[in-house]
Structure 1
């Protein structure tokens, strides 16, 4: 998944808290959000509005940010409520980053996974 697909997927699933999001979808979204925040910060500074534009962006994307975080936690087999650990100063953010960086765990109670079932690899699966 690339950055464009990730942004489309997250915005199309604006308030969808069920299901799963893979690492690439989550981290591309985080990168796109950071880039958008920097651009909004520059625009706000040029217009003399300070952080107003960045705050409007944060408010507009609050729900999709939480939703993709919840789906990412579902992908590693944890409840979306674990995202609240990020409210603990410093240690919470480190924990959220650690959990978000974990690989997918295969099918779990939240679904098959963001990419669906993966064909097994190895010598038995090579086409002649």
Structure 2
């Protein structure tokens, strides 16, 4: 946490961004108190304010990168810091770098079916494949290892309507 705080590249988590806002806020309060007690020169105040602005700008850009967006958005007035603080970052690696949470996406389904968690296999990472055993009526989805061992199979069907009177458990 807090590596390369003045650089604009990479990604940071929500926690680091929130702590950056708090640090910046208290540094501004401290600078105001010091200026009230001891009159600081305008050059010294300008340097401190520039340093704090650069710090929070760099952290905001990195947080924007974690959301998969360009860092230029932080210069827009309506780009809310609360949005940066409370939005979940993108899972896995994106164009701006590795996931700062080090999360791993074990399941990459390209189907419209519900996502089922495949069992963990230590030797291989499961890969989702969409195939069709019987192309006329049913479509099956498989989770397989790299050597095509089937770990999980489920039927992908779409229901147009449900007959509520078909079963006594659905009728009240």
Common fold: TM-score over 0.5: yes
Select the residue among 60, 66, 75 that pairs with 2:57.
66
Shift of 1:42: 0.7
SS at match of 2:76: helix
| Aligned-CA RMSD value | 2.9
Q: Equivalent residue for 1:89?
A: none
SS at match of 1:44: helix
Q: Equivalent residue for 1:102?
A: 87
Unaligned runs of 5+ in 2: 107-116, 121-172
Larger Rg: 2
Q: Is the 8 A contact 1:19 1:71 kept in 2?
A: yes
TM-score (norm 1): 0.68
SS at match of 2:91: coil
> 1:119 & 1:18 partners in 2: Cα distance?
23
SS at match of 1:106: coil
Higher helix share: 1
1:104/1:72 Cα in 2 relative to 1: closer, same or farther (>3 Å)?
A: same
Shift of 1:97: 2.5
> 1:48 & 1:111 partners in 2: Cα distance?
43
Unaligned runs of 5+ in 1: 87-91
1:43/1:56 Cα in 2 relative to 1: closer, same or farther (>3 Å)?
A: same
SS at match of 1:61: helix
Correspondence 1:83-122 to 2 at 5 A: 83-86=74-77, 92=78, 95-107=80-92, 108-118=94-104
Q: Equivalent residue for 2:13?
A: 22
TM-score (norm 2): 0.53
Which of 1 and 2 has higher RCO (CA within 8 Å, sep 6+)?
1
